[in-house]
Structure 1
Amino acid sequence: MTSFIGDYICKVDEKGRLLFPSSLKKQNKSASADRYVAKKDIFENCLVLYTMEEWERQNDLIRRNTNPYNREHSKFLREFYRGTAELTLDSNGRLLIPKRLLDSIQVNKEIALSGQDSRIEIWAKEIYEAHETNEDAFAELAEKILGSTPLSNE
Structure 2
Amino acid sequence: MSTFIGDYECKVDEKGRVLFPSSLRKQVKSESPDRFVVKKDIYEECLVLYPIEEWEHQTAIIRRNTNPYNKEHNLFIREFFRGTAEVTLDSNGRLLLPKRLLEMVGIGRDIVMAGMNGKIEIWAKEKYESAQLGSSDFANLAERILGSTPLKDE
In the superposition, the TM-score normalised over structure 1's length comes to: 0.98
1:73, 1:150 → 2: CA distance?
34
1:136 to 2:146 alignment? no
The residue correspondences of 1:30-49 to structure 2 (distance < 5 A) are 30-49=30-49
The residue correspondences of 1:30-109 to structure 2 (distance < 5 A) are 30-109=30-109
Shift of 1:72: 0.1
Moved over 2 A (4+): none
What are the ranges of 5 or more consecutive residues in structure 1 without an aligned counterpart?
none
Write the deviation string for residues 20-60 of structure 1: whole angstroms up to 9, x where unpaired.
00000000011110000000000000011001000000011
Give the SS at the match of 2:103: helix
Shift of 1:135: 0.4
What are the ranges of 5 or more consecutive residues in structure 2 without an aligned counterpart?
none
- Cα RMSD between the aligned structures? 0.6
Query: Which residue identity does 2:119 align to in structure 1?
Result: R
In the superposition, the TM-score normalised over structure 2's length comes to: 0.98
Give the SS at the match of 1:59: helix
Query: Which residue identity does 2:107 align to in structure 1?
Result: V
Give the SS at the match of 1:91: coil
Deviates more, 1:30-39 or 1:144-153: 144-153
